[in-house]
Amino acid sequence: MLKLGSFFKREEGVTAIEYAIVVAGVAAVVLIVFASDGPVATALTEVFETLGTTLKGMVSSS
């Protein structure tokens, strides 16, 4: 009985579960932000399209 009581008093397992939940939440946010249709991907696509258009214009005018 004494070992069972000390098992329930330990909090290392609870802390590990809490960290796992936090990591899962952060992973979900990263996936949403960096998804193919997320805001970061959209901004990068716009930047590279503008850069490509500008470079094509510079090359064709020379």
Task: Output the tens digit of pLDDT for each of the chain's 62 residues.
Answer: 566 566 556 666 667 788 889 999 999 988 887 777 777 888 888 999 999 999 988 888 76
**Structural domains of the chain, count:** 1
Q: Which pLDDT score, from 0 to 100, does residue 20 have?
A: 86
Domain limits at 23?
4-61
What phi and psi, each to the nearest 5 degrees, are found at residue 10? -70, 145
Query: Which tokens go with 60?
Result: 């064709």
Residue 38's Cβ-count burial label (10 Å; 0-12, 13-18, 19+) is middle
pTM of the model: 0.48
DSSP 1-62: -HHHHHHHH--HHHHHHHHHHHHHHHHHHHHHHTSTTSHHHHHHHHHHHHHHHHHHHHHHH-
